[in-house]
Amino acid sequence: MLSVTDIQKILPHRYPFLLVDRITDLKKDEYVIGYKNISISEPVFQGHFPDHPIYPGVMILEGMAQAGGILAFQSMDMSEEEAAQKVVYFMSIDGAKFRAPVKPGDKLEYRMTVNKHKGAIWVLEGKAYVDDILVSEAELKAMIVDK
């Protein structure tokens, strides 16, 4: 399990763009499970939408990507110093689907599985759930590069 403090040692993202609160399970080179608690105090709800707050799909995809980045970094057995010199870049997002709205008060769980990994390239199957109901899915391709 990784706390938000541990996550900040791996990812360069910070508030308001760090979209993973905790990692609850991780098996190197296979999968990661983590979550974000969706709060009405998220800055995005000021404009999306003031009278009907819905967490944007693009933020769900970014959260999946961040969880996937954590999986990639942990799988590569890098030191904190080595990881600090790297960043994960999106290469593609395929088959993105949004099946149900995510609202304030929801616990958004990311479940990322490795489809392929070769060198610095990772292809991940991402699924996001609220109360074990699938709310979003996509295939994400990313590359770990030097900063």
**Any idea which residues carry the catalytic annotation?**
48
Distance of CA 112 to the CA centre of its chain: 8
Q: Tokens for 126?
A: 């991402």
Contacts (Cβ under 8 Å, ≥6 apart) of 5: none
Total Cβ atoms within 10 A of residue 77:
8
Sheet with strand 107-118: strands edge to edge:
22-27, 31-37, 107-118, 121-130, 133-146, 86-98
